[in-house]
Chain A
Amino acid sequence: MPLLTTTDLTISFGPHWVVQDVSCAIERGELVGLVGPNGAGKTSLLRALVGLIDPDRGVVRLDGRAISEMPPRQRARQIAYLPQSPTVHWPLAVRRLVALGRLPHLDPWQAPSGEDEAAIDEALAATDIVDLQSRTLGTLSGGERRLATLARALAVGADLLLADEPVAALDPGHQLQVMELLARLTRSSRAAIVVLHDLTLAARFCDRLILLHRGEIRAEGRPDQVLNDANLAEVYGIRARFGEPPERYIVPWERIAPNELPRNTS
């Protein structure tokens, strides 16, 4: 059984449809990239998957169970969410921040157990920020702060991680670090859905891509099937240069003039 499925998921804000009839399935062990231009509905889709938006229509199921019917804490233990711009409102120390990921596992008056501490240690080690754990967030660089918020999401220990642009605003070294980490993480029984704008990272690291355009799935499958000339032209309005396999890099090269755009054939 797939870890996560959506059936005919439809979301609207007022009169505007932002996600329309999205049906997909995510298997354990998969790193799935969610790609598409700004405003394609990626963030809304992700927010619906974690239960932050109630869809107008359709169901999100985790291990066959509708998430809307799961107790919030149980859902929180199984789906971790890293928002597009993670905020931390108080100047916590990194370790305390990461420890917040364990909240779904704690009863209201229960102190964190050894298992919780181990999960925190593991998340710090996975993101390579063990040395930063006693620093406060204000003293970190943007990249380090981003890693700390990712560690917070990892500390949940969820089967499914939903990360909204986790590599945005990171330097190339940190981008590779985060993608390698996600690929490593999903080698076991876990899965992740990651919103990406960097097509090369999407092509290199993701097992599968879902290309979203105007709220609908335009293409879905292996990166080389999804990121082809026709799809890039139609969805992004660009031409790209591709590396020869096995070097799967994609460089957005030029915008296509509006009158040259392929007609919408769907």
Chain B
Amino acid sequence: MTGKRGIQRTPGIKQSTLTIGLAIAVLALFVVSIGAGPAAMPLLTSIGELWREDPTIAALILGEIRLPRAILAVLIGASLGLSGAALQGLLRNPLADPGIIGVSNTAALGVVLVLYFGVSQFAAWTLPAAGMIGAGLAVVGILMLAGRGSSVLTVILAGVAVNAFAGALTTLAINLAPSPFAVVEIVFWLLGSLADRSFDHVWLALPFTLLGWVLLFTTRRALDAMTLGEDTATSLGFSLDRVRLRVVIGAACCIGAGVAVAGAIGFVGLVIPHLLRPFVGHEPGRLLLPSALGGALLLLAADTAIRLTTTGAELKLGVVTALIGAPFFLRLIVRTRQAVT
């Protein structure tokens, strides 16, 4: 659709080039990530040995440690980038990040409650379920608090309120925790990490994550129409209720599932769509796929860097993404304020 003229002020990259480039980068980093680490890894041989009955140590490290961790980084990073882009399209707000508006923390609260009451010992699926319910309630809460056609800042304020509420209940859980051990476990979920994850975690998160992705991708045309406001989007044949429902359930599925296995990881959904938006001409629908790939790339890069650089106490992934993302958030707030005043 770009035609011969292209888009002014857009960096000179075609969208297909961007998407393919990001996909190649994710793939390359994935290979680097599973190949690099304290234990030297003859990658191809080890992959071949993965399915042997008596795998070598290298194959064990690959299959039990590095592979699930890298796969989760891709799944969760993509979920965060995609959900961020979709929520921003739905709310028409560049500041709507699942972490900032409290979706991740409410999902974490759900997971913490399940851990707190020990339900997950009996059924592992209750973890992603609680995460998804928490995330879904957060998005619905924001939509209700902010109301229709609300301004950029109202939505963020609604998110802050939801975040504060989730935070209050989480600290209550910490406060009443039966043992210091339980406190450590709860705090751990709030920080977000991919350390020591196995394929069990991958299988737990995968189905819900994929379901969430499918739901979010089906809204792409509707999100483009939402650019023109709710009335015009309706006049173009889109049902607002259905778009909202699909974004809410889609974001809840993939963020809830991600939080259930890795805890709350913020700012990916803010940074990535913000960086990529100019490359796709600012259209929310076109932003979805590149954002998913960019999110996967960022989280994989951050986690690989953590794995390779830290000795002793490992930095938590959620802490690293927050350190990267918070300055972006400040910059966006300044720009939004300029646009409003």
Contacts and interface: CB of A to CB of B under 8 A. Distances in A.
Contacts of A99: 1
> Chain B at the A interface: mostly helix, strand, loop or mixed?
loop
B91 to A, nearest CB: 10
B237 A92 contact: no
Interface string A61-80: 00000000001111111011
B228 A152 contact: yes
A47 B231 contact: yes
B283 A92 contact: yes
B89 to A, nearest CB: 9
Contact of B92 (A51, A89, A95, A133): A89
Contacts of A156: 236
B229 interface: yes
B240 to A, nearest CB: 10
Given A95-B5, A96-B283, A134-B6, A52 B229 contact: no
A184 interface: no
Contacts of A71: 237
Contacts of B239: 72
Given A92-B283, A134-B8, A100 B227 contact: yes
Interface residues of B, number: 31
Contact of A88 (B1, B8, B228, B234): B228
Contact of B235 (A80, A87, A96, A108): A80
B281 A93 contact: yes
Contacts of B281: 92-93, 96
Interface stretch (B123-131, B138-146, B218-226): B218-226
A86 B236 CA distance: 14
A52 to B, nearest CB: 6
Contact of B237 (A83, A90, A104, A135): A104
Nearest to B219: A108
22 contacts: A52-B234, A72-B239, A80-B235, A83-B232, A87-B232, A89-B227, A89-B228, A92-B281, A92-B282, A95-B1, A95-B5, A96-B7, A100-B224, A100-B227, A100-B228, A103-B221, A103-B225, A103-B237, A103-B238, A106-B221, A139-B8, A152-B228
Interface of A: 47, 50-52, 71-77, 79-81, 83, 86-93, 95-97, 99-101, 103-104, 106, 108, 111-112, 117, 133-136, 139, 152, 156
Given A89-B229, A91-B282, A136-B9, 9 more contacts: A72-B234, A72-B238, A81-B231, A87-B232, A93-B8, A103-B224, A103-B237, A104-B237, A134-B7
Interface of B: 1, 3, 5-10, 92, 218, 220-221, 224-229, 231-232, 234-239, 277, 281-284
